[in-house]
Structure 1
């Protein structure tokens, strides 16, 4: 059982770190880069990125981070695993917040922009971009960066606590 606990915790940490990186790259590079483009370029580029990111590997990482974090926390239930459980559960809850923000804020905005159609055929791309509400998207992405980043830190600290507990048990 200890092997399964370790594998689940490591996998949750890696998947959550990967997702924190995805949200971070949007905050650090993608959205700042798109911000400088004209309306048609912004819309077309964002639509292309959104179509590309919705793929099985991304969805596996996105949902896998949540499932693995919850699984890792559940596997820590029981006596003597309090610190590992606490940090793992905190990581799972924080990453859950990032998922909820994605579903509640980002997906509807992304879907509305995709539904607006091809940028070349838009009569008023400035109105489409304004309706997208780029500021709202970016602001809530910062929330995903923060929650997933802190979740990653919590899971990494849970691994440290796991290692300490194992070292004590081996003595």
Structure 2
């Protein structure tokens, strides 16, 4: 049980960090880079990248996996000092998922549904995308994910201290 407790917490911490890293990379490289392109490049590239990220590895092991692993880690730490930190991380990460599903995904889906960049009004599609809204909510989920990662990291420290 001790090994499973530690392994689940390590896995929760790693997957939370990986997904938060995706948010961070989008906010600091991908979207700023696309912002400097013409409308057709923006729409076409965004569509291609968003289609690519919808895969079992990212969605299952990363995006959903981080929440499930954090829940598992919390359940295995019910009588331990790390539980409040894990619980707080769970709530913060859950909020990042809610933001993603409520704000970022609908914006992403709208740009994907617009159609082939060779046959649509890419200027209108880009304007409707609302880059500022997407960036603002991405920043929030990045900050919350980073805080969740920090809390899980601290839970690891507490767990390590209790093991010695």
Please, what TM-score do these two structures have when normalized by structure 2? 0.97
Which residue pairs with 1:41 in the alignment?
Answer: 41
Which residue pairs with 2:32 in the alignment?
Answer: 32
User: Which whole-Å deviations, capped at 9, do the CAs of 1:1-45 have from their partners, x for residues lacking one?
Assistant: 111111110000010010111100001100000000111110000
Which residue pairs with 1:4 in the alignment?
Answer: 4
User: Which whole-Å deviations, capped at 9, do the CAs of 1:42-91 have from their partners, x for residues lacking one?
Assistant: 0000000001100110112110001001111111112xx1x300111111
Match runs of 1:69-80 below 5 Å:
69-78=70-79
After the TM superposition, list the runs of 4 or more consecutive aligned residues in structure 1 that deviate by more than 3 angstroms. Answer: none
User: What 5-or-longer segments of structure 1 have no aligned partner?
Assistant: none
* 1:156 is aligned to 2:153: yes
* 1:166 is aligned to 2:151: no
User: What 5-or-longer segments of structure 2 have no aligned partner?
Assistant: none
* 1:137 is aligned to 2:138: no
* Distance (whole Å) between structure 2 residues aligned to residue 38 and residue 66 of structure 1: 37
Please, what TM-score do these two structures have when normalized by structure 1? 0.93
SS at match of 1:119: coil
Q: Match for 2:124 among 124, 127, 142? A: 127
1:144 positional shift: 1.0
1:125 positional shift: 1.4
